[in-house]
Amino acid sequence: MVLRCVGRHLLTTAHNALGRPSRRGGAVYGSAYAVQQEEIRQKLQGFPGGSINLVKLESGIAVMTISNPARMNAFSGTMMLELQDRVSELEEWTEGKGLIVRGDAATFCSGSDLNAVQAISDPQEGMKMCMFMQNALTRLLRLPLISVALVEGRALGGGAELTTSCDFRLMTVGSEIRFVHKHMGLVPGWGGAARLVRIVGSQNALKLLAGAQKVDPAYGEQIGLSDGVVGPREGEAAEAALGEAEQWLSNFTRGPASVIRAVKKVVLSGRELPLEDALRTERDVFGTVWGGPANLDALARKSKHK
Ligand SMILES: CC[C@@H](C(=O)O)C(=O)SCCNC(=O)CCNC(=O)[C@H](O)C(C)(C)COP(=O)(O)OP(=O)(O)OC[C@H]1O[C@@H](n2cnc3c(N)ncnc32)[C@H](O)[C@@H]1OP(=O)(O)O
């Protein structure tokens, strides 16, 4: 959810609950947040509707579908809980290599369910929801899987923020990503502003947030928010987009899972950690693949070419 205008007290509360942010994969907020996490889980149960579905393919790519078609795939409270559960499942999937996040019924996601937003007016509650979704989406981004958001139709508000919690974004013809928060007197609260700055830079992020600018596929590629356009072409079924996205992602997930997951880990540490910490992480990850089955197999094949 969003940080409404909060007083110093609330920010202090948030700071105390932050604890030391985890530098490794995993949640953002420290153990001090655990009690609040349980409170917010209870609260979110009160806003049912929709689902977050997950299918794991033989190829090592999983497809996560945000499904609440009657509400343009808006996130109900129980969908936020299911998102956390699906991320936990993916954290345990040791053969996983890639993830596609998409919306049901040929549209992506229109953010929080406004009925839930209206029912939770208290800034403290809003801030707790914000921490819940920041945790879930940070863990999603930190999965040792190469992830892509397949944007069909509209990704608005929290839906736009959800696209930034993937490594890549692919957009279909006519789709849009729009950070509409300003029009609701809000700012992103699911971590979308922090991630957007890292993806498109602070000036483009300011334009997208302060201007609530519509990002179509061309503009998205121009500023680096979108990594390509996929089907369906004229006359093709909507499912063609998912097939193309799988094809696109498989260019980066082809190979042993141990190596693909190691690649994501070293890039993640390069993206998030100070240089010396990143170098130490790279050394440690290197140690898990050097002399490993994939390395020895490649060496055996190379020696055959002599
Ligand atoms: C951290 C950010 C987070 C937060 O602050 O907590 C947010 O994301 S706030 C929400 C931000 N999102 C929006 O403001 C988008 C709201 N929706 C729209 O602008 C439009 O619905 C649309 C997405 C542009 C689609 O418009 P249209 O094609 O005209 O369809 P409808 O508007 O008729 O929508 C169909 C149906 O879906 C319901 N709907 C759509 N979005 C939401 C939503 N976010 N929450 C709840 N319900 C939503 C809409 O009410 C319609 O339902 P019915 O009226 O029952 O037919």
Tell me the ipTM for this assembly: 0.94
Evaluate: CB of 231 within 6 angstroms of ligand 1: no
Torsion sign (Cα): 135, 141, 144, 147: positive
Domain boundaries, the chain: 33-257
Give dist(CA 237, CA 106) in Å, integer. 10
Interhelix angle for 34-45 vs 123-141, to 10°? 100
The pLDDT of residue 231 is: 81
| Pocket perturbation via mutation, ligand 1, pick of 110, 118, 161, 190 by most ligand atoms within 8 A of CB | 110
Residue 200 C-beta-side C-alpha neighbours within 13 Å:
23
Q: What angle do CA 73, 75, 79 make, to 5 degrees?
A: 110
Pocket probe for ligand 1: among 4, 68, 114, the residue whose CB has the most ligand atoms within 8 Å is 114
Looking at residue 30, its pLDDT comes to 73
- In short, whether 153's Cβ falls inside 6 Å of ligand 1 is no
Distance, CA of 154 to CA of 103 (rounded, Å): 9
pLDDT in tens, the chain (306 residues): 343 433 344 344 444 433 333 443 577 887 777 777 888 899 999 999 999 999 999 999 999 999 999 999 999 999 999 999 999 999 999 999 999 999 999 999 999 999 988 888 789 889 999 999 999 999 999 999 999 999 999 999 999 999 999 999 999 999 999 999 999 999 999 999 999 999 999 999 999 999 999 999 999 999 999 999 998 777 777 678 999 999 999 999 999 999 999 999 999 999 999 999 999 999 999 999 999 999 999 999 987 766
- For the CA of 159, the closest atom of ligand 1 is 8
Atom 4, ligand 1: residue with shortest CA distance: 1
pLDDT of residue 117: 85
**Residue type present at position 215:** V
Instruction: Write the residue with the smallest CA distance to atom 54 of ligand 1.
Output: 71
Q: Are 6 and 123 in contact (CB under 8 A)?
A: yes
Decide whether any atom of ligand 1 lies within 6 Å of the 4 Cβ: no
Q: Per-residue DSSP letters for 216-258?
A: -HHHHHHHTS---EE---TT--TTHHHHHHHHHHHHHH-S-HH
- Where do runs of H (alpha helix) occur along the chain? 8-18, 34-45, 77-91, 114-119, 123-141, 158-163, 192-200, 202-210, 217-223, 240-253, 257-272, 275-289, 293-304
284 Cα to the center of ligand 1, angstroms: 45
Q: How far is the CA of 107 from the centre of ligand 1 (A)?
A: 12
Residue range 33-257 forms a domain whose CATH class is alpha beta
Give the pair of three-digit tokens for residue 162.
Answer: 């959800």
Give me ligand 1 centre to Cα 114, in Å: 7
Half-sphere exposure of 177 (CA within 13 A, CB side): 29
Give, using CA atoms, the residue closest to atom 46 of ligand 1. Answer: 113
